[in-house]
Amino acid sequence: MKTFEELGIAPQIIKAINEMGFEQPMPVQEEVIPLLLAETRDIIALAQTGTGKTAAFGIPIIQKTSISLHAPQTLILCPTRELCLQIADDLSEYSKFVDDIKILPVYGGSSIESQIRALKRGVHIIVATPGRLIDLLNRKTVSLENVHTVVLDEADEMLNMGFTESIDEILGQVPNDRSMLLFSATMPQEIARITRKYMNSPVEITIGRKNEGALNVKHIYYVVQAKDKYLALKRIADYYPNIYAIIFCRTRKETQEIADKLIQDGYDADSLHGDLSQVQRDFVMNKYRNRNLQLLVATDVAARGLDVDDITHVINYGLPDDTEVYTHRSGRTGRAGKTGTSISIIHVKEKGKIGQIEKMINKKFEKRQIPSGDAICEKQLFNFVDKVEKVKVNEEEIARLLPAIFRKLEWLEKEDIVKRVVSLEFNRLIEYYQKAKEIEEPSDFSSKRDRKEKYEKRSDRDKSSRRAERGYTRIFINLGKTDGTNPGNLMGFINDHVPGKVHIGRIDLMQNFSFFEVPEENARQVVKAFKGLYVDDRRLVVEIAQDTAASGGGKNEGSWQKRSKGNGKSYRKGQKK
């Protein structure tokens, strides 16, 4: 590997980039810098963002600028305002020790007058979005007659955004003998046309994808019915308590709707799309960059200018039509050596697309089930407990308040305080998921195993709605197979706690709860005997089930779900309330 000196870079630029922490050239720089410094005319570089391409063209451009000529000599075209500002900023950094060099970003959405004034004062390098540059050209406030180098950055994106005609028009006003450098992540037909029309025997360079990202990204998908899509999104967001994600939607309208719903449901979310003003977009992007937003709901186009390194999840709220777009989306996570996850919430008909994308990215997707309410609550709870363990206590600040707090809480045991803190934080979540219906996969999509589970659930429901035998009362208990309950230990448990011998009739064991029948005259006595009992810290719920039987045990199922699944197989008598 060569050093920057060996590539022929001037000392004042090396000083600046060293200050920026660049120690060695990146591959694209090693290839492109010597070519540009050696006056190679045209170069096509297949390279993505993150490969170091800005310095690859920026450094030689600065070095080749003639400061005494007060006219634009280099024109850099790029698709978005954000990229435009970023490139101009980077170039200013590299040229920190180059006296009097003038670099001007020119983009829509900000005052054209101040850009015109700056142009009049004289600039050497223009970084522009095509639309605004055309505007300036039409007003005859900028001349491109001294331009010797043109860079098209993210050329494929510019074409995607409909800038083909503008690019043609701009290139028509640049002298024919200029050199041209084209950077693109992909090479669609239209780019090939541009290169044929405007380039002369270009040197082609392919810089491997920024694979650091691709390799670190896990691809997951969930299949849901259209009506469950938003609920599934919420569950996914809840399942990852520290999520910092971009949610991609297909249209501006959908983007706004989803963001609105999320905000209404109490999430740190906001929207980013083309119907917002530039000021609004800047505001949202800054909020997101500063992590004052957890969920950014965006269209592909609007999110293009956003470069954030530590996004944990990319969520595809439906798959994009173009599989290339999927690569762009998922490449936003798993950057800078971190791992990331690209999640797709799809409906059955999109299944075929998963296969296409798998082929393109050469990676398998993992199919997952939407997290259950229990799993979500557990994940959130442990995350919270983890935070409690790790929180930094500011002893000095709170010392003054502690004695009074201790006095107020001294009547409570440690366990009670823990329970109360957790309840304060989680009652709403638990309550929500207690009431929420689990999201089921569309039936033609479920695996054999899923079908078996569904059958078991259905037969559980049938059992729940069963009526008691004549002369017997049906009783609900919130212990089920998950707790290791079987007819033998359940009978033993009942007899251990109910004074006198009670005959136990039919027993129906379900996953998380059960029913047993006792003679009508013993029913109240049995229910009473279990009042205030605990099993492994879980309060027992034992109720007469007759009323709820007709509704499929719904009420009792609900009251069970708000309690965490105890894994204790041993029954023990807890403290009375």
Task: List residues near ligand AMP by CB under 6 A.
Answer: 22, 24-26, 29, 49-55
Distance of closest approach, residue 199 Cβ to ligand AMP, in angstroms: 22
Separation of alpha carbons 37 and 59, rounded Å: 9
Query: In this complex, which beta carbon is closest to ligand AMP, that of residue 54 or of residue 271?
Result: 54
Query: In this complex, which beta carbon is closest to ligand AMP, that of residue 153 or of residue 238?
Result: 153
Helix (H) or strand (E) holding 317: strand 313-317
Query: In this complex, which beta carbon is closest to ligand AMP, that of residue 21 or of residue 266?
Result: 21
Q: Work out the burial of residue 268: count CB atoms within 10 Å of its CB; fewer than 13 is exposed, 13-18 middle, 19 or more buried.
A: middle
In Å, what is the CA distance from 41 to each residue of 53, 157, 199, 275? 17, 23, 8, 40
Separation of alpha carbons 546 and 562, rounded Å: 21
Distance of closest approach, residue 22 Cβ to ligand AMP, in angstroms: 4
Distance of closest approach, residue 317 Cβ to ligand AMP, in angstroms: 27
Distance of closest approach, residue 25 Cβ to ligand AMP, in angstroms: 5
Separation of alpha carbons 10 and 531, rounded Å: 84
Separation of alpha carbons 509 and 479, rounded Å: 9
Q: Which residue's entry shows tokens 């054209």?
A: 112
Backbone angles phi, psi at 145, to 5 degrees: -70, -20
Separation of alpha carbons 33 and 43, rounded Å: 11
Separation of alpha carbons 24 and 18, rounded Å: 9
Query: In this complex, which beta carbon is closest to ligand AMP, that of residue 55 or of residue 535?
Result: 55
Separation of alpha carbons 297 and 315, rounded Å: 9
Query: In this complex, which beta carbon is closest to ligand AMP, that of residue 154 or of residue 460?
Result: 154
Burial of 352-369, coded b for 16+ CB within 10 Å and e otherwise, reads ebbeebeeebebebeeeb
Separation of alpha carbons 154 and 107, rounded Å: 16
Distance of closest approach, residue 52 Cβ to ligand AMP, in angstroms: 3
Query: In this complex, which beta carbon is closest to ligand AMP, that of residue 19 or of residue 521?
Result: 19
Query: In this complex, which beta carbon is closest to ligand AMP, that of residue 17 or of residue 302?
Result: 17
Query: In this complex, which beta carbon is closest to ligand AMP, that of residue 210 or of residue 281?
Result: 210
The residue of the chain with the least Cβ separation from ligand AMP equals 54
Distance of closest approach, residue 91 Cβ to ligand AMP, in angstroms: 11
Distance of closest approach, residue 48 Cβ to ligand AMP, in angstroms: 8
Supply 272's token pair: 């980013």
Distance of closest approach, residue 358 Cβ to ligand AMP, in angstroms: 27
Separation of alpha carbons 192 and 209, rounded Å: 20
Query: In this complex, which beta carbon is closest to ligand AMP, that of residue 59 or of residue 319?
Result: 59
Distance of closest approach, residue 206 Cβ to ligand AMP, in angstroms: 15
